Amino acid sequence: MMRARWPLVAFVLAIAAAPWIVPPFYVTLLNYIGLAGLVVLGLVLLTGIAGIVSFGQQAFVGIAAYTTALLTTAMGLSPWVSLFASLAVVGAFGLLLGAITLRLSGHYLAIATIAWGIALYYVFGNLPGLGQYSGIDDLPPIALFGWPLDTAPRIYYLIWTITILALAAAMNLLDSRSGRALRALRFRGVMAESFGVDTARLKVLVFLYAALLAGVSGWLHAHFLRFVSPHAFGVNAGIDYLFMAVIGGAGQVWGALIGASVLTVLREWLKDILPAAIQRTGNYEIVVFGVLMLLLLQRTRNGIAPALMRWLPKRTPRPPSPDAEPLPRRAQPEPGRMLLEVDGVRIRFGGLVAVNRMSFSVRSGEILGLIGPNGAGKTTMFNLITGVLPPESGQIRFLGERIDRLGQRRIAERGLVRTFQHVNLVSTMSVLENVAIGAHLRGTSGTLAAMAHLERGEEERLRAEAARQLRRVGLGEHLFEPAGSLALGQQRIVEIARALAADPVLLLLDEPAAGLRYGEKQALAELLRRLRDERISVLLVEHDMDFVMGLVDRLVVMDFGEKLAEGAPQAIQSDAAVLEAYLGGIE
b/e 441-474 (16+ beta carbons within 10 angstroms → b): bbbebebebbbeeebeebbbbbbbbbbbbbebbe
Residue closer to another protein by CB (options 159, 185) is 185
Measured CA to CA in angstroms, residue 140 lies from 33, 78, 231 at distances of 22, 8, 20
Question: What are phi and psi for residue 369, nearest 5 degrees?
Answer: -100, 130
Residue 246 in contact with another protein, rule: CB under 8 A: yes
Q: How far is the CB of 186 from another protein (least distance, A)?
A: 6
Which of 83, 250, 355, 464 is in the footprint of another protein by CB under 8 A?
A: 250
Amino acid, res. 89: V
Residue 545 in contact with another protein, rule: CB under 8 A: no
* CA pair distance 287, 213, nearest whole angstrom: 31
- Measured in whole angstroms, how far is the alpha carbon of residue 127 from the centre of its chain? 39
Which of 81, 104, 165, 277 is in the footprint of another protein by CB under 8 A?
A: 104
Which of 18, 118, 265, 454 is in the footprint of another protein by CB under 8 A?
A: 118
Binding mask 274-293 for another protein (x = CB under 8 A): --------xxxxxx-xxx-x
Residue closer to another protein by CB (options 200, 308) is 200
Binding mask 414-453 for another protein (x = CB under 8 A): -------------x--------------------------
Q: How far is the CB of 282 from another protein (least distance, A)?
A: 5
Alpha helices in 284-341 (DSSP H): 284-299, 304-309
Q: What angle do CA 173, 179, 182 make, to 5 degrees?
A: 130
Q: How far is the CB of 205 from another protein (least distance, A)?
A: 16
Applying CB under 8 A, the span of 16-24, 181-189, 342-350, 373-381 interacting with another protein comes to 181-189
Residue closer to another protein by CB (options 159, 347) is 347
Which of 298, 316, 374, 574 is in the footprint of another protein by CB under 8 A?
A: 298
Residues 16 and 30 sit within 8 Å (Cβ to Cβ)? no
Which of 22, 111, 307, 488 is in the footprint of another protein by CB under 8 A?
A: 111
**3-class DSSP state for residue 503?**
coil
Residue 53 in contact with another protein, rule: CB under 8 A: yes
Question: What are phi and psi for residue 137, nearest 5 degrees?
Answer: -120, -175
Residues 548 and 538 sit within 8 Å (Cβ to Cβ)? no
Q: What angle do CA 142, 146, 151 make, to 5 degrees?
A: 45
| Residues whose CB is less than 8 angstroms from the CB of residue 346 and which lie 6 or more positions away in sequence, other chains included | 353, 355, 356, 357, 358, 391, 392, 393, 394
Q: How far is the CB of 582 from another protein (least distance, A)?
A: 31
Applying CB under 8 A, the span of 78-86, 210-218, 245-253, 578-586 interacting with another protein comes to 245-253
Residues 250 and 297 sit within 8 Å (Cβ to Cβ)? no
Q: How far is the CB of 385 from another protein (least distance, A)?
A: 17
Give the footprint of another protein on this chain (CB under 8 A): 47, 51, 53, 100-101, 103-108, 110-112, 114-116, 118-120, 122-123, 126, 186-190, 193, 199-200, 239, 242-243, 246-247, 250, 282-287, 289-291, 293-294, 297-298, 301, 427
